[in-house]
Every structure is written in structure tokens, then in C-alpha cells.
A and B are shown apart, each in its own frame.
Chain A
Amino acid sequence: MSKAGEIPVRKRFPYRRPPELDAASPRRLKLLIVGGGPIGLTAALDLAQRGYEIVLLNKLDIVADGSKALCFSKRTLEVYDRLGVGERLVREGVAWNLGKVFWGDRAEPIYEFTMLPIPDQKNPGFINLQQFYLEEYLLDALAAFPNVDIRWRNEVIGVEQRRDHVEVRVDTPDGAYTLAAEYVLACDGSKSPIRGMLGLDFEGKVFEDNFLIADVRFEQERPTERWFWFSPPFPGESALLHKQPHGVWRLDFQLGWNIDRDEAVKPENVAPFVEGMIGKDVPYSFEWLSIYTFQCRRMARFLHDRILFAGDAAHLVSPFGARGANGGVADVENLVWKLDLVLKGAAPRALLESYDDEATTIADVNILNSTRSTEFITPKSRTSRALRDAVLGLAQTHAFARPFVNSGRLATAVATPRSPLNTPDDESWRGGVAPGTPAIDARLGDQEWLLAHLHNGVTLLALNLPGPAIARARALARDLADISAVRFVSLRDTGASSLAERYDAAGGALYLVRPDQYVAARWKTVDEAKVRLALKRLLGHMLVAEGARYEAVA
């Protein structure tokens, strides 16, 4: 259970003396990943699968026990499917789609929402699984790669940007050494020492409220849904209940600002909250207790020359909406393919600038949503409280008020419709997947899914195209090899599948899909010149041509 001052250990890993301590000159790496949280580990797995030699530094030598992220979104699961760990996460986690919001002692919810508004996709809207399981599964997957070197108890204590590399000073139990890397991924968490070493800003809001997390083991039949209470009929100003695997539940209570945190976290003081929620006669035991506060802030830029920030190091959100780790996975998803192509010389360095552009756009959406949820859940003035309570009151009887109820807008994929890597539509579309939006999954057969046909590279995706057009598109994909390798995939609707509807492809459509599964461009016919230009744009070649701020990268 939570103890102040020491980090509880779930699993410990062996420190090994790094070879550099005994070498004359520093080793030169292409890539160095700093941080062994979910984001650093995810980046390592993605890059390891692309064949890079990976060194990952972690100042700790443990996977920490204790409660942090629990809820992982469909989009995150889709990313992990691409990386080969998605099915294990879904198998071990608790899948859910439905959220219910209660007010006071009313037995009926005043609002309900689904996280899977478009059904029949491979992954559920969300799973609940403790963050340490995710970290363990990522470490298991990484163990299969001989090209991955995870260095426990290796702490970064200095960084220096040079013209064509970064020099990183690392401290270990046996002394300090230096590494040189072409690029450094700073995934070193919310307190990011690297951010500090570079003297960079981290701006935003701190919210004045305390939340109690209680992971509690008990047996009770309850639907697998997210339940949230405003002004619950038990202690707490608001409360949240989530089911976890293995008979554990996550209970979360809003305590207010002026409290004694040490007192509040004592089991005897938590008991009334728990018993109020689950009932006095249900036997239970505590797995974990802690108190957290939170902030919504981000760095002005995520890209600083050869140092790339991702995850909590780059942005922080309130937990309402589960946008923290999910947002960090989105960073990795956006970054890794760009880094890969730049390192291979297949794309200009300007492409990395688009990481800054797109990932800050995504972070802003996450911060906006989680800030709004926080303001609704913890109103900070009399008037905002009156407005909030007015919404809750009206929601009981009037449908119009229900969509205002904001108990957290949970993480979904964030679109980047204005990214300069997109080619805007030049035909009229009725829905479908617009440029800047991730491809949506669709069932193709019994256990066959559309997203499984996408891979780590660029895909030219033909949907319901007529025969002659398929042949032309296939030949085109081959010819595009002078710009970049492109995989051609042709799918058509059979029986109950829904490509026509999901992709506005009844009359045939051609989609150009990025390695991170975001749509870059789409057409209704096969036009070689247009596809060529869109591919160049996707790879960042036009950023250089169009100049402006993207030329800043030397």
C-alpha cells in the first residue's frame, strides 16, 4: 500500500555495468530513449521492430507498484495491436463501452454515454488495466529483441546539444559515463529532468483539489461500466467507480482543497467513503491508497533541435478523460515513423517539425477537454457551481441538458485536420475518413479487420474500386517506390462489411494512409499525379519547398 517517501516495488530488474564505463571514447548511437515509463517503453518497442539498436535509460530499476493509469482507449489498443501487444492487453483487461453518470441519491443515471458509438470494431472503446501490467507486457515484448538494451539505474544527469548529435551524461552505481546519440527521446516523465536541464518552460494551470484513489478488493455483481457520481449520497464531492481485473475496483473520491492529506489517506478515514459507495455489509480490503492533485500544462514546443519530448515530459492533463498515457501513446505513434524515415534518409528532417506541430495540436485538444471536465466537476465559483447544478437538475427531465453533463470526456483519437502533411479533399465526400483522421476499423470477415491490413509503412488503400482501377492503383503503388515504399491493399465489401459506409466508398475510393494509420489524402478515382504529390506531402517534402517555419530545422 502507499507509503510516503519510498516507491513500492512490483518487480525489480538487474543493473549491469555499462560497457562505456570501460571504453576510451563515447559510443555513438542513432537513438537514445530516456525513461522507462509506458511512453519510453512504447517508443522502444516501435523502434526496435523497425530494426534500430535501442538503448533505453531508466534511473529506477523497478516497475513500480501503485495506481496510476487504468483506462486505455481504443486508439491506444489499435496502436498496441500494430506493436503486437494489443491482444494481450484486451485479454487481461476489463473491456467497457458504457459510462453512467449519477447525481445525488437518484438511482437512475441522469446521463449515459458510449465509448464505442460505431460498433463492430476489433477493439472495445476502453479497457481497464493497471499501468504496471502494461509496463510489464511491454518489457516482455522488448525482451524478445536482441537489439534492445534497457539500462536500469542509469540516470541522465546532463545533456548537451551538438551540431549533429546530443551528448548525454549518465550516472550509475559504478560512476558516470557519456553517450552520444543523433536523437534523444525524452520520455522522462512529468518532472522531466531533461526539460529542466535545458531550462525549458512548462506552462499551464494547477487545479486546487485533492482526489483520493482507493483500489479495493471486494466481491459484488456490478455491470462493467464507468460509474460517476456528482454529489453522491456518500462522502465525497464527486466519485468514480471502475472495475479492474482480478476482483479489484478503482474508487476515486474528490475531497476538496483544504484537507489534511496524511489523515485523509489513512484506512480508517477512507472506510466511510468505501462503505458509503459499496455498502456497509460488503467485506473488502485495500490494495492501494493515495491522494493526488493535478495540473494541465504543456511545453511550448516538443522538439528542441535533436531532443524530442513525449508523454508526461511534454504535457500533463487531469485524469478525467484518461488522456495522460493515452495522449503519450499518441505522441509515440506520431513520432516514431517520422524519426524512422528521417534516420533512413527517406524523408527530410523537416518531417520532424511536423511532430511538434501535430503533437502539440493533439495535446491542446487533450488539455482543453480535461480542463473543461475539471471545471465542470470542481466548479470554482458560486456561479459556476450554480450553472453546473442547473445542468444536472435539468438533465433529469430534459434530454437537451444531458450532453452538457461532463464527468470526463474520455480519450479518443484526436484528428489533425490542419496538418500540412494532409492533402485537403478536392472532391465532395459524404462522411468517410477525412484527411488528418485515423483510419476507422471495420470488420471484413469473421475475425478479419481492416486495421490489420495497415502496417508500419505507408499504405495505398483501395476500397471497392472497380477491377481496371485496382490494376492501375497497384501499378501506381509500385511506381511510387522512387519516392517511398508504399504497400498496396485492395479491399471490397462482402456481405455485412461496412467499408462503403465507413469510408464513403460505395462507388470506390482510394485512401493514402500514413504509417500511423492517419489518412493523408483520398480520392474517388486513381490519378497518378495527385497521388504522387500527396505522398511527397505526407513525407514532408513540401514542407521544405513551402519553407516558412519548417525550414528552421537544419
Chain B
Amino acid sequence: MKLSLEPRIERPDDVYELLLLLHDGLSREASERAMARLVLILANHIGDYDVISEAVQAARATQSDTGSVEPRPT
């Protein structure tokens, strides 16, 4: 496991607010694109296939949204 899932952010509320600010005043489509841009920027910053792959799996495996998650096809 290369991906860290331990708390690493010192000011979580501030960072969370930043993520909300990304969408401020945007339409649903614009918001989706902004989110996608952010993901790409962060993924590039990480730059490591294995870490990103683990992050994708962690994101898919966490079923907080009413259990509509399917197992990742391999």
C-alpha cells in the first residue's frame, strides 16, 4: 500500500471549504468539469500509477452513497 489513508491535512475545515469553493456559482455541468480538472491536477501532482490506482479503488470501495457501488471490473 503506497496510498496514505491516514489524516494528513492540518486544517481539514479550511481544505473542505476550498473544495466547496471550487463549485461556487457553477452550473451542474461546469461543476462536473471543474471537479474533473481538479482530479486531473491532483493526479498529475501525485504522478504515481500505483498510488492513483489505490486511490481509485478506495474511492469505489467506500459505500457511503446508498450502496450503488459495483465491484470494479478487473
Contacts and interface: CB of A to CB of B under 8 A. Distances in A.
B29 interface: yes
Interface string B28-43: 0100111111011100
B44 A390 contact: no
B44 A393 contact: no
B32 A383 contact: yes
Contact of B32 (A382, A394, A401, A404): A382
Contacts of A386: 29, 32-33, 35-36
Interface in A390-428: 390-391, 393-394, 398, 400-401, 404
B36 A389 contact: yes
A391 B43 CA distance: 12
Nearest to A403: B44
A390 B29 contact: no
B29 A394 contact: no
A392 to B, nearest CB: 10
**B interface, over-half SS:** helix
A387 interface: yes
A404 B44 CA distance: 10
Contacts of A400: 41, 44
Interface in B18-74: 29, 32-37, 39-41, 44
A394 B40 contact: yes
With most chain B CB atoms within 10 A of its CB, the pick from A383, A390, A401 is A390
A323 B32 CA distance: 33
Nearest to B28: A382
B59 to A, nearest CB: 13
With most chain A CB atoms within 10 A of its CB, the pick from B32, B34, B40 is B40
B53 to A, nearest CB: 16
B41 A394 contact: yes
A401 B34 CA distance: 14
A404 B39 CA distance: 13
Nearest to A395: B40
A387 B36 contact: yes
Contact of A404 (B29, B33, B34, B40): B40
Contact of A389 (B33, B39, B41, B44): B33
Contacts of A387: 36, 39-40
A105 B36 CA distance: 22
Contacts of B33: 386, 389-390, 393
A391 B34 CA distance: 11
Contacts of B35: 386
Contacts of B40: 387, 390-391, 394, 401, 404
Contacts of A393: 33, 37
A158 B43 CA distance: 55
Contact of B37 (A382, A383, A394): A394
Nearest to A382: B32
Interface of B: 29, 32-37, 39-41, 44
24 contacts: A382-B29, A382-B32, A383-B32, A383-B36, A386-B29, A386-B33, A386-B35, A387-B36, A387-B39, A387-B40, A389-B36, A390-B33, A390-B34, A390-B37, A390-B39, A390-B40, A391-B40, A393-B33, A393-B37, A394-B37, A394-B40, A401-B40, A401-B44, A404-B40
